[in-house]
């Protein structure tokens, strides 16, 4: 059986780090996990982050595939922000990454993303 490819939103990683939620997805063998460069930035930019926490985050992220911001993603980002000006830049960049790579996005913040045309949300009704 083919693995399910997923782009993981920052909130999912935060829940995983804080409480172990979503372990079945992040540590399971049924998924190929990707994340946006902006997710890495968001995770490491938390104020008060201890060096040991930073190292733990980097260690976990090494297991997964980072998607850098390419010219195509930057262009999609601009289009998403133009069409949905109320979105945060970080959310728009994550959405643009999912759209460009044709990856379903797993997030708990489904209301941030649900209006975006063409974006597939994985587990859009997920609750902790």
What span, in angstroms and rounded, lies between the C-alpha atoms of 49 and 43?
A: 9
Answer yes or no: is pLDDT of 124 > 90. no
CATH code of 4-122, in short, is: 3.40.50.1010
What span, in angstroms and rounded, lies between the C-alpha atoms of 100 and 96?
A: 6
**pLDDT tens sequence across 19-52:** 999 999 999 999 999 999 999 999 999 999 999 9
H/E element, 35? strand 31-36
Answer yes or no: is pLDDT of 128 > 60. no
Measured in degrees and rounded to the nearest 5, phi and psi for residue 62 equal -60, -20
pLDDT of residue 1: 79
């Amino acid at each position: 059986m083919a693995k399910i490819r997923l782009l993981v939103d920052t909130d999912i990683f935060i829940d995983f780090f804080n409480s172990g939620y979503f372990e079945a997805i992040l540590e399971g063998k049924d998924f190929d996990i990707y994340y946006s460069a902006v997710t890495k930035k968001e995770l490491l930019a938390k104020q008060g982050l201890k060096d040991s926490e930073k190292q733990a985050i980097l260690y976990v992220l090494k297991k997964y595939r980072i998607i850098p911001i390419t010219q195509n993603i930057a262009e999609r980002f601009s289009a998403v922000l133009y069409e949905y000006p109320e979105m945060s830049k970080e959310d728009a960049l994550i959405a643009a990454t999912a759209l460009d790579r044709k990856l379903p996005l797993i997030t708990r913040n489904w209301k941030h993303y649900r209006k975006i045309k063409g974006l597939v949300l994985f587990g859009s009704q997920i609750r902790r």
